[in-house]
Amino acid sequence: MKKNRTRFHRIVYKVFRPVVWIWLRTKMRFDFSTQPTLPDQFLLISNHVTNFDPFLLGLATRRLIYYVATEHIFSLGWLTKLIVWLVDPIPRPKAGQAAGTVLEIKRRLKSGASVGLFAEGNCSWDGRTASFPASTGKLVRTAGVPLVTCRIRGGYLSSPRWADYTRRGTVTVEVTHIWQPEELRALRPEEINRLIAEGIAEDAYATRDEQQALYPGKNRAEGIENALFVCPRCHAFGQFSGKGNRFACTCGLTGEVGQDGSITAEGLSFTTMKDWEDFQQEYLQALDPSAYPTVSDPDLKLSRIEDHVRHEISQGTLIFSPTALTLGDFSVPVSEMTDLAVRLKGIVTFSVRDGAYYEIKPIRGKKSYHGRKYFLLFHHLKNKEETAAAPPTAASQQKESEHDNRQ
């Protein structure tokens, strides 16, 4: 990276830091009062809980950091040009093409810059830190710079990914550890991954209980249908929604999201988003794929993304069944899809075997849709396909043999 570009970005950081500070103060409280002395250069890895995380880390560390960003940042036309000019993020392409991202991270580090990475790749839906690619440890080991791990606490319940409104909770950024390059070189990649996992691990509800924290705000239940789909009472899929501080299902189940982030409803056996998430994951896992619902949303458009440019190819109703995804006159078998992801509150992106990459967004002026339901169904289908196709293990073969001998 050219030194004059880095100098320009340092000026941008210094100018905009107080502006961002004031802007974020309108949305949440934060406390960055106790931070250790950081190295001059480092690779920072943090958990990911809000869309504000790069700003929070930049304020807390008081350092210019180049962050790895997802594909959609680079296909926004003039806005992309402005973002790249101001902060120059590192692109993270779709699945299967991560080598370019790794090379760019190392190039930035070699130039003397610091780089920030959200290893999970996505904001948490339920307040818990998710897993991350096993290749992360190898990247860190060969980076040649100190590793700084951070834990953002209070962020999820202050600004849940699914919610339409932020809350006035307190957010802190903890630098959990700093490892020097020589320490990292003495470790295996899997050992480094364990250190990273420990350094970024967060459970929003455990933090809430520990700090006895409240997250007051208006309309706390609005948007809850972006994350949750299976009703615990009637097991209907996608039949409830939030309004104000309350949510309801068509079966009559009603409940409330409290100022402490709790979920309460008559007859409900759990009180947190993470417990509801566990319930719906287990429910879908127990279903036979033939019993999966066919889900749909109207007034959507499908675009193919090539070289960061969107090319619209179809409009209409999105329909997803256990066998195919269809939108207007476009259709692809689920078996041909290699990945499906959601960004922000639920915009679907997916890739297929020929390498094509697609995005589904509402037609201009239309309401948003709840894309995570497609993510849940797709990945449960794929997991079951992989399980069915996997060769039997020695243990399963022994069980089958014992069963046959008993017949």
Segments making up each domain of the chain, as ranges: 3-211, 224-286, 291-386
352 three-class SS? strand
Whether the pTM exceeds 0.85: the reply is yes
- Token readout for 1 is 């990276």
CATH architecture, domain 291-386: Roll (2.30)
Measured torsion, CA atoms of residues 145, 150, 156, 158, in degrees rounded to the nearest 10: -110
Locus of tokens 């995380």: 53
Tell me the per-residue pLDDT of 284-331, one tens digit each, with 9 for 90 and over: 999 998 899 999 999 999 999 888 788 999 999 999 999 999 999 999
Residue type, 184: L
Distance CA 43, CA 68 (A): 11
For residues 340 and 398, which has the higher predicted lDDT (pLDDT)?
Answer: 340
Q: Which residues pair with 359 in a beta bridge?
A: 303, 349
User: For 24-33, 336-345, 370-379, which range has the lowest pLDDT when averaged over its residues?
Assistant: 24-33
Is beta strand 263-265 parallel, antiparallel or unpaired with respect to 254-257?
A: antiparallel
Strand order in the sheet with 263-265: 240-243, 246-249, 254-257, 263-265
Q: What is the pLDDT of residue 369?
A: 93
Query: For residue 388, is pLDDT > 80?
Result: no
Dihedral sign for Cα atoms in the order 363, 364, 366, 370: positive
Report the side by side order of strands in the sheet with 43-46.
Answer: 29-31, 170-179, 147-153, 43-46, 115-118, 66-70, 90-92
pLDDT tens, residue by residue, 344-382? 899 999 999 998 999 999 998 888 899 999 999 999 999
Give the dihedral sign, CA 98/99/104/106: positive
Report pLDDT for 403. 39
The answer to whether 342 and 358 have CB atoms below 8 angstroms apart is no
Q: What share of the chain is helix, strand, coil (3-state, %, to 5)?
A: 35, 25, 35
